[in-house]
């Protein structure tokens, strides 16, 4: 079936947000039409939390109210991103099917009265979700307002109930083939954990001490697969009636219950939600991190920022307000990295209810407000960027990212609570972002041949295939940096025996790690090059590599801390400790220089963010944001699409989209 491109239908980039007209009355709907027109909104996400209205009792659907809104939006020139409402089952559903309510690891069954009160493995929930998706698709599959299908909303919840246990066992049989293989994979020979019947196996519920790590990792994989199956059922029910693209909005970056690479392959358009967790320039770096991940999950294809907040930064238990101009800056950061538009949660701020204090495009204060003025200015700006639709981004550097490695670092029993997955990834990305380099994320088994430099900040788990892939990458001329605590276990979490990391990678790096020596909390060590490091150290031997910096303390004195190995036509670097920020920045700077990677626009000073989007026909656009305190003259003035005129300098906080013929 030919799937229509979203931007073709919209005639440009998407702009709008979650729209719940069911919270309001006809007077407000009329004002919504006017304000959406004023703000140049062209896409509204409708129906996300509408299950209780759409199916007021089991099997009886009421679509007339939705018909009216879709027709109204269509008449107002706003296309619809129609959601299936399955993230929030109505109370009648939970009362009729209490076994479909989610259960926590400690056995507590949750009740209705919130949202996400479902277990994705519960048969009654799956059936009800398929039914309502099919009913919506049948009714609206070719509605003229319909531009996109939005399955569910953020598949993020977990469940440990008996339905989950039953489905987990089916999954384990398919993955491992036999109970003996499960026992072997999980090394149940230890701690008297041997299973003698499938029915004995449970999800990793609360237990006395460490839960079995293999069980926990397999459970994460299972849960992602189960959730993906639930998504696919809805998608296929929709596809039977509709040729519009289907997506589900992924929550980046903190929720790691899904293998997002797998979701990226199953959606017609990757869409993500982004809410920064730090203010100021950190929020801009967070936006870039998530946007680069979204593009990578999409395999480089266009994707969509489905949700962000006009005034929402979650930091330390507070919701901080964005600074004036952030609405444009953050949206452009996503668009620079391939998003086909910018959407928000939500159009109009709820007057009451669970998200009453969440920011929106039309705040409680109404349209006469700074927020709405900035929203309108953004709509105006995006309406001028239609020519960017379908263009793509090029990166010469990749950061490796694998959900399996992430899940593996969440199991019980790791040697330091300061070892984490996301932190090192963010840091690697941030360091490259500060250097003005455009970055992809890549899976360790992807073909890496197009990258000059690859960073592996956190690859605790590494499959044989990935280790071999990395070896080949270096042999063929790539520059690879592997950081501490990487390549230690295979896909079953079995340690690599005979020295870390996995053998083919050892060959590429020319080292062998023999012993881990975690550092005490707060302890700082100095390396022979004067840089300092914390958290971790390792006793390693070079086997062909040269020591670039050595430890200077304790039993590791004189032993290599940072190594470089000329292997094949490439370079394999290994960093066995956690360098401080300036040491890490210097190292990454050196690797960029060695690998011949220049900043995206080397003539611009640090602090000016720049990304280029390329069209297939040779046109290109440079998207710039000035994070510096002063005005920056542009070495190469150009035509700015945002203002429609020539641009010679960028004021502090200013943005530009320069068309380079
Ligand atoms: C998103 C969610 C929205 C809304 C928003 C608030 O994660 O999809 O429905 O709750 O968070 O930040």
The predicted-structure confidence for 216-245, as pLDDT tens digits, reads as follows 999 999 999 999 999 999 999 999 999 999
Q: What stretches of 205-279 show up as alpha helix (H) in DSSP?
A: 213-239, 260-266
Are 601 and 610 in contact by the 8 Å Cβ rule? The answer is yes
Q: Which two tokens stand for residue 103?
A: 């259960």
Name residues contacting ligand 1 (CB within 6 A): 153-154, 251, 273, 275, 307, 309, 312, 345, 355, 358
Q: What is the mean pLDDT of residues 610-637?
A: 96
Are 256 and 273 in contact by the 8 Å Cβ rule? The answer is no
**Measured from the CA of 48, which atom of ligand 1 is nearest?**
9
**Dist. CA 441 → ligand 1 center (Å):** 25
Q: What is the mean pLDDT of residues 128-149?
A: 98
Residue whose pair of structure tokens reads 């040697």 in the numeric block: 415
Q: At what angle do helices 123-140 and 213-239 cross, to 10 degrees?
A: 30
**Measured from the CA of 314, which atom of ligand 1 is nearest?**
12
Give residues with Cβ within 8 angstroms of 488, minimum separation 6: 460, 461, 462, 495, 496, 500, 501
pLDDT at residue 612 is higher than 90? yes
List the catalytic residue out of 55, 138, 266, 307: 307
List the catalytic residue out of 55, 154, 340, 374: 154
The pLDDT score that the predictor gives to residue 145 is: 98
Largest CA distance in the chain: 76
Residue 34 known to be catalytic: no
The predicted-structure confidence for 356-406, as pLDDT tens digits, reads as follows 999 999 999 999 999 999 999 999 999 999 999 999 999 999 999 999 999
Q: Whose CA is nearest to atom 3 of ligand 1?
A: 345
Strands (E), 92-248: 146-150, 246-247
Q: What is the mean pLDDT of residues 24-49?
A: 98
- Which one of 51, 88, 154 would you pick to mutate in the ligand 1 pocket, going by the greatest count of ligand atoms within 8 A of its CB? 154
The predicted-structure confidence for 507-527, as pLDDT tens digits, reads as follows 999 999 999 999 999 999 999
Question: In this structure, what DSSP letter does residue 387 have?
Answer: G
Q: What is the mean pLDDT of residues 546-568?
A: 97
Are 529 and 549 in contact by the 8 Å Cβ rule? The answer is yes
Residue 154 known to be catalytic: yes
**Measured from the CA of 49, which atom of ligand 1 is nearest?**
9
**Dist. CA 273 → ligand 1 center (Å):** 8
Range with the poorest average pLDDT among 57-71, 191-205, 244-258: 244-258
SS3 611: strand
Q: Whose CA is nearest to atom 5 of ligand 1?
A: 345
**Per-residue pLDDT band at 661 (split at 50, 70, 90):** confident
**Dist. CA 306 → ligand 1 center (Å):** 10
Q: Whose CA is nearest to atom 4 of ligand 1?
A: 345
The pLDDT score that the predictor gives to residue 253 is: 73
Are 650 and 623 in contact by the 8 Å Cβ rule? The answer is no
Q: Write down the pTM of the prediction.
A: 0.97
**Dist. CA 508 → ligand 1 center (Å):** 44
**Dist. CA 240 → ligand 1 center (Å):** 29
Q: How far is CA 440 from CA 249, 268, 445, 452, 461, in A?
A: 20, 20, 14, 12, 20
* pLDDT above 90 as % of the chain: 97
């Amino acid at each position: 079936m030919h799937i229509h491109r979203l931007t073709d239908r919209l005639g440009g980039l998407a702009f709008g947000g979650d729209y719940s007209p069911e919270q309001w009355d006809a007077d407000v709907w009329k004002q919504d039409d006017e304000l959406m027109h004023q703000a140049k909104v062209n896409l509204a996400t409708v129906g996300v939390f509408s299950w209780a209205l759409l199916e007021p009792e089991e099997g009886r659907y009421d679509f007339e109210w939705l018909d009216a809104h879709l027709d109204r939006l269509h008449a107002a020139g706003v296309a619809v991103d129609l959601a299936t409402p399955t993230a929030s089952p109505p109370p009648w559903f939970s009362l009729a099917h209490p076994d479909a309510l989610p259960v926590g690891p400690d056995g507590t069954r949750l009740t209705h009265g919130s949202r996400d009160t479902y277990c994705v493995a519960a048969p009654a929930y799956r059936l009800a979700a398929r039914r309502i998706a099919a009913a919506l698709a049948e009714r609206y599959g070719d509605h003229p307002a319909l531009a996109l299908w939005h399955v569910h909303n953020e598949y993020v919840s977990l469940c440990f109930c008996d339905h989950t246990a039953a489905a987990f066992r089916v999954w384990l049989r398919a993955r491992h083939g036999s109970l003996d293989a499960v026992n072997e994979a999980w090394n149940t020979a230890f701690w008297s954990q041997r299973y003698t019947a499938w029915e004995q196996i449970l999800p990793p519920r609360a237990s006395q001490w460490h839960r079995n790590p293999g069980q926990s990792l397999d459970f994460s994989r299972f849960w992602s697969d189960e959730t993906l199956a639930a998504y696919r059922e809805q998608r296929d029910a929709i596809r039977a009636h509709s040729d519009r693209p289907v997506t589900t909005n992924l929550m980046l970056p903190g929720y790691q219950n899904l293998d997002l690479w797998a979701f990226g392959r199953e959606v017609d358009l990757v869409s993500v939600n982004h809410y920064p967790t730090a203010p100021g320039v950190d929020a801009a770096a967070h936006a870039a991190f998530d946007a680069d991940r979204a593009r990578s999950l999409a395999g480089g294809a266009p994707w969509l920022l489905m949700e962000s907040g006009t005034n929402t930064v979650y930091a330390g238990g507070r919701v901080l307000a964005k600074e004036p101009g952030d609405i444009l800056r953050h949206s452009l950061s996503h668009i620079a990295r391939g998003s086909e538009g910018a959407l928000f949660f939500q159009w109009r701020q709820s007057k009451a209810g669970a998200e009453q204090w969440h920011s929106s495009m039309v705040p409680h204060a109404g349209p006469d407000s700074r927020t709405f003025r900035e929203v309108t200015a953004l709509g105006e700006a995006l309406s001028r960027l239609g020519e960017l639709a379908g263009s793509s981004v090029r990166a010469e550097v990749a950061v490796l990212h694998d959900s399996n490695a992430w899940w593996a670092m969440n199991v019980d029993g790791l040697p330091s609570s300061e070892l984490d997955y996301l932190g090192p990834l963010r840091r690697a990305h941030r360091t490259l972002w500060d250097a003005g380099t455009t970055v992809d994320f890549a899976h360790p088994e992807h073909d890496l041949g197009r990258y000059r430099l690859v960073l592996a900040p956190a690859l605790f788990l590494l499959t044989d295939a990935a280790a071999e892939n990395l070896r080949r990458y270096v042999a063929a001329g790539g520059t690879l940096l592997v950081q501490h605590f990487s390549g230690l276990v295979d896909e079953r979490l079995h340690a690599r025996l005979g020295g870390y990391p996995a053998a083919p990678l050892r060959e590429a790096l020319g080292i062998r790690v023999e012993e881990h020596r975690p550092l005490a909390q707060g302890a700082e060590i100095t390396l022979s090059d004067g840089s300092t490091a914390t958290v971790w150290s390792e006793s390693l031997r070079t086997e062909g590599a040269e020591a670039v910096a050595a430890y200077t303390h304790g039993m590791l004195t004189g032993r290599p801390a940072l190594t470089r190995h000329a292997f094949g036509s490439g370079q394999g670097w290994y960093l066995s400790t956690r360098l401080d920020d300036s040491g890490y920045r210097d190292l990454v700077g050196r690797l960029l220089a060695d690998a011949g990677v220049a900043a995206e626009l080397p003539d611009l000073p640090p602090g000016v963010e720049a990304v280029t989007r390329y069209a297939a026909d040779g046109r290109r656009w440079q998207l710039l944001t000035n994070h510096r305190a002063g005005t920056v003259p542009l070495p190469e003035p150009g035509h700015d699409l945002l203002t429609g005129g020539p641009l010679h300098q960028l004021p502090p906080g200013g943005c530009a989209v320069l068309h380079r013929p």
